Structure 1
Amino acid sequence: MGAGGVALPEEGCWGAFEPADLARVVGDGDEGTLNVSGGFVLARENQIATCRVEVDGEGRFLAEAKRPPVDGGTLLSAAEQDAGAGPGPGHDPGSADGREPLGFGTQGRVWSDGAVVGFTCRRRPEDPFEVELKISGRPAADDRRVLGRLMRQYFDAARQQLRCEV
């Protein structure tokens, strides 16, 4: 059950998020809808899994997972553009653009309406691959700590569901 009586499936978004934290992002409304595309497998390069939460027909939360191609095209670089700053040498994620480091994963950052993190998944030494996770939504009172908690939950769930070594 989300905030304001919005009911969302407990297993929504691959079971990655605590319902109470997700409720703080999706907010109030009458009807909640969950749209999940792709299973959380990421079996090949350039495969993307998404989960979108809508309340009363309005997108309130989006979770994306991507296994980027070896030659680039990453969510991390797209998130930098979304946050209004290009990736560049000397860029400080905690600078005036409002982004702060997450403290886990690769290039993990959180800002007022999103977060992004990457990691290397190792199932066997001969087949490690990169995974990128991105979430977007606007928590009540612009509390980016909620987004940081949601990203930590997503990070842990993704590594478990992909069976990556810890």
Structure 2
Amino acid sequence: MRKARFSLAGVFMLAAAVTLTGCGEEKKKEAAPQLPERTCFGVFTQSDLEPLLGTGETVKVDSPADVRLTAQRPGATCNVYVDGKGRVLVTATRKPSGQSITWPPMDQNQPAPDSLPLGDKGIVWNTGARVAVTCKGSKDSFELELGISGSTDQMKPGTSRPLFTGLMTKYLDAAKQQTGCGV
């Protein structure tokens, strides 16, 4: 009979240890994944993109070091994945001067985008922002289209458009500098 009590006590201790271990794993999953100090062409910091990352264990960034676009390198893309799911997409496209930039239609089930007073033409919506700017320089002229989109499922309603506006403002400044826009 005494052996059964010790075995039963052992079972309870083991169950408690498993339960506590499970809690530790849940807390680990609730934490935001860590990004490099600078990411997406060296433009954004961890705190810039953190609202879009959500929770998870692993983060993968697929991005070139910069967004220095040329006629030979007309585009660049940065993807940030959390636990294998796409969370942030940052794009840049360089087009010949005078080529108009058109954006695909927005999802009719989403609220209409707002105008974004950046560049020559800009819009912001609940899951992203786009800006087009004509770059006229002494050596080269071209059209530059920038885009940012991300997962906003974990954000409070009404907070995503101001976030994307701030991110695009920062991105536009860095992209103009890196591409030599207006130089």
Q: Alignment partner for residue 84 of structure 1, among 99, 102, 107?
A: 107
Comparing 58-67 with 43-52, which one deviates more in the overlay?
43-52
Note closer, same or farther for the CA distance 1:165–1:69 as it changes in structure 2 (3 Å cut).
closer
Comparing 61-70 with 51-60, which one deviates more in the overlay?
61-70
User: Is this contact kept in 2: 1:38–1:48, CA < 8 A?
Assistant: no
Amino acid at match of 1:56: D
Structure with bigger gyration radius: 2
Gaps of 5+ in 1: 86-95
Note closer, same or farther for the CA distance 1:46–1:161 as it changes in structure 2 (3 Å cut).
closer
TM-score, length basis structure 1: 0.78
The alignment covers a number of residue pairs equal to 149
- Which structure has more relative contact order (CA 8 Å, sep 6+)? It is 1
Q: Percent identity?
A: 36
Gaps of 5+ in 2: 1-29
User: Is this contact kept in 1: 2:114–2:123, CA < 8 A?
Assistant: yes
Aligned residue number for residue 168 of structure 2: 151
Comparing 26-35 with 37-46, which one deviates more in the overlay?
37-46
Residue 110 of structure 1 aligns to a residue whose secondary structure is strand
Amino acid at match of 1:108: G
After the TM superposition, list the runs of 4 or more consecutive aligned residues in structure 1 that deviate by more than 6 angstroms. Answer: none
Q: What CA distance in whole angstroms lies between the structure 1 residues aligned with 2:55 and 2:166?
A: 20
Q: What CA distance in whole angstroms lies between the structure 1 residues aligned with 2:135 and 2:100?
A: 18
Give matches, 1:10-89, under 5 Å: 10-37=37-64, 39-44=66-71, 47-69=74-96, 72=99, 74=101, 76-78=102-104, 81=105, 83-84=106-107
Aligned residue number for residue 146 of structure 2: 133
CA offsets per residue over residues 62-103 of structure 1, 9 Å max, x none?
Answer: 0000012457584x423xx2x237xxxxxxxxxx94211111
Amino acid at match of 2:150: G
Note closer, same or farther for the CA distance 1:132–1:17 as it changes in structure 2 (3 Å cut).
same
TM-score, length basis structure 2: 0.71
Higher helix proportion, which one?
Answer: 2
Give the root-mean-square deviation of aligned CA atoms.
2.5
